[in-house]
Chain A
Amino acid sequence: MTAKAISQEERFYQLIDKEEKIEPKDWMPEKYRNTMIRQISQHAHSEVVGMLPEGNWISRAPSLRRKAALLAKIQDEAGHGLYLYSAAETLGADREELIEELHIGKAKYSSIFNYPTLSWADIGAIGWLVDGAAIMNQVMLCRTSYGPYSRAMVRICKEESFHQRQGYDILLTLCNGTKEQKEMAQDALNRWWYPSLMMFGPKDDESVHSDYSIKMKIKRFSNDELRQRFVDATVPQAEYLGLKVPDKNLKFNAKTENYSFTEPDWSEFYNVIKGNGPCNKDRIKTRREAFENGKWVRDAAIAYAEKQKQNNKNGKQ
């Protein structure tokens, strides 16, 4: 019972070492707080911007069953964005300010959503590849050191389990269909493969935030490790569909039980991040318009709520 009082800082690092979660009101280093806010809000933005490429096909979904599944999936993404913004708010960030940063182009989001959805097969490819890649990341993040983020991720992972299946099922149906349908599926794989590999972020030796995130147990695996896992999991699934992964150098190494593969074109990655992807401007513009067009609605609801409060007060007196 004589343990000497330890500083807040020591306590924080002890918690991290002991694999205990950090909770909102705990003392934490500014760097940890800012890293968390940055990462969680980027994640939230990705969910919300990620609704748009798929939303592009709601009205044209080729069957009512697919339309319902797609709506439910995109709606989940809105929910996930919401859980994540809420988690960021526990760190003292303000949702509107985070959204503002997205709208002025200051905040990042997953660059994959700057690619267009050009055919129905793209909806399959997004579910299978993009959600597949996201799940790799998110399963890891369920164990992240910040409590609210970790809890949000547990919930998200539970809900997302149908997303990847939904996508794969679309492609499976296309690949069992007509020649045109199969071509559509192959074309989608060709376009979404490398952007999906980019989703894990730059190579480890070029990743600026990786070291700190690993040390603070925000991330548990490196970008390259996750990318490798994704390729290993995905290639056999492509083969099952009878589709060809667009990589001539793809090769299975029996000894390591890994596939060797061609790295994505990183100059394209940095270019898209800079804002030069096919849809960057459009995505941000769409989100900004939704927010701005909704302002009078949000204002009206507040004004009404305040009037009601006032009426209740007057009524009681």
Chain B
Amino acid sequence: MRNNKTSYLLHLADNALILSQRLGEWCGHAPILEQDIAITNITLDILGQARYFYQLASRVDKKDKEEDFYAYYRNEREFKNLLLLEQPNGDWSQTLLRQFFYDSYCILLYSELEKSKDKNIAAIASKAIKEVKYHYKYSSEWVIRLGDGTKESNQKLKNSLNYLWDFTGELFEVAEYEKEMIEKGIAPDVSKFKTTWFNNVTEIFNKANIEVPQTTWFQSGGKSGLHTENLGKLLTDLQYMQRTYPNCTW
């Protein structure tokens, strides 16, 4: 069993890694060169965050493993990322909506983590929050643009919303390993973000001419290692080299 802090750090790191793995799929395929470059900048920021958290996790874990061990040698059930982040890119609206949901959440999360009693976590968060604020600006603008753009783009955004909404409930669930972190003032209680997050999303959706779904039932499990089928395939790709040629230096 890993200690709770390692698990919590892996949760943060996995969120960033899995999302950046997804975003990286856009490189070379975005709607226009300018946006290809923009989305890859975001990918690089988030991949960078993943690395900081893995590096810290490896120091806390004290198993003498490096960042890549955590990214490449853990199985599906050991990954603790939010289900939302492993969902496929779909079209531009699905990617940007997923991003918007996550960015709105990360602004709250990292602002709190900046005040964490763990100085190392606080340091990573205070670097990341600057990036996240820009990501939020970018993704919220795109959500508004697509929602208030053409009839077609509005419909596509609605379809994406219909698909992704079920995964947003998990953002506010507290995992077992998180409880100790909350008690010790290392991590914020994410369940308290719900109202702020929801109000913010509603505000942007109003500008985007789309409505917040009324569903009250949400998917859950990612934070504790129970994933959708999407993660396994993503990891197959991600881990291919290290699994095929174990223990090599690259």
Contacts and interface: CB of A to CB of B under 8 A. Distances in A.
Interface of A: 48, 51-52, 55, 58-68, 71-72, 74-75, 78-79, 81-82, 85, 120, 170, 173-174, 176-178, 180-181, 286, 289-291, 293-304, 307
- Name the residue among A48, A65, A66, A67 with the largest chain B CB count within 10 angstroms: A67
A174 B249 CA distance: 8
Contacts of B67: 64
B148 interface: yes
B232 interface: no
Contacts of B144: 304
B148 A304 contact: yes
Given A75-B44, A300-B153, A64 B71 contact: yes
A78 B29 CA distance: 10
Contacts of B153: 296-297, 299-300, 303
Interface in B24-45: 24-25, 27-37, 40-41, 43-44
A294 B25 contact: no
Interface stretch (B112-120, B195-203, B233-241): B233-241
A66 B248 CA distance: 14
Given A61-B241, A64-B67, A51 B145 contact: no
B145 A71 contact: no
Interface of B: 17, 21, 24-25, 27-37, 40-41, 43-44, 47-48, 50-51, 54, 67-68, 71-72, 91-93, 144-146, 148-150, 152-153, 156, 237-238, 240-242, 245, 248-250
A74 B47 contact: no
Contacts of B51: 64-65, 68
A67 B249 contact: no
A315 to B, nearest CB: 15
Contacts of B50: 64
A294 B30 contact: yes
Contacts of B35: 294, 297
Given A64-B51, A297-B31, A303-B150, A59 B24 contact: yes
Nearest to A300: B149
Given A174-B250, A297-B92, 17 more contacts: A51-B27, A59-B25, A59-B237, A61-B241, A71-B24, A71-B44, A71-B47, A170-B250, A181-B248, A286-B28, A290-B31, A294-B92, A295-B31, A296-B150, A297-B146, A298-B32, A300-B152
B248 A177 contact: yes
- Name the residue among B35, B40, B48 with the largest chain A CB count within 10 angstroms: B40
Given A60-B237, A71-B24, A71-B27, A303 B149 contact: yes
B247 to A, nearest CB: 9
Contacts of B146: 297, 300, 304
A180 B51 CA distance: 28
Nearest to B238: A59
Contacts, number: 141
- The list of the 3 closest CB pairs from A to B, nearest first, reads A294-B31, A300-B149, A300-B153
- Name the residue among B21, B47, B48, B250 with the largest chain A CB count within 10 angstroms: B250
Nearest to A50: B28
Contacts of A289: 29
B148 A58 contact: no
A73 to B, nearest CB: 10
Contacts of B54: 64
Contacts of B150: 296, 299-300, 303
Contact of B28 (A170, A177, A290, A303): A290
Contact of A74 (B28, B148, B241): B28
Contact of A300 (B36, B37, B145): B145
A304 B149 contact: yes
Contacts of A81: 33
A178 B34 CA distance: 40
A68 B48 contact: yes
- Name the residue among B25, B35, B149 with the largest chain A CB count within 10 angstroms: B149
Contacts of A181: 245, 248
A309 B200 CA distance: 25
Given A55-B27, A64-B68, A72 B92 contact: no
Nearest to A81: B33
A66 B71 CA distance: 13
Nearest to B67: A64
Contacts of A82: 33-34, 37
A62 B242 contact: yes
A58 B31 CA distance: 19
Contacts of B152: 296, 299-300
B149 A66 contact: no
Contacts of A294: 30-32, 35, 92
A293 B25 contact: no
B47 A67 contact: yes
Contacts of A65: 51
A298 B54 CA distance: 37
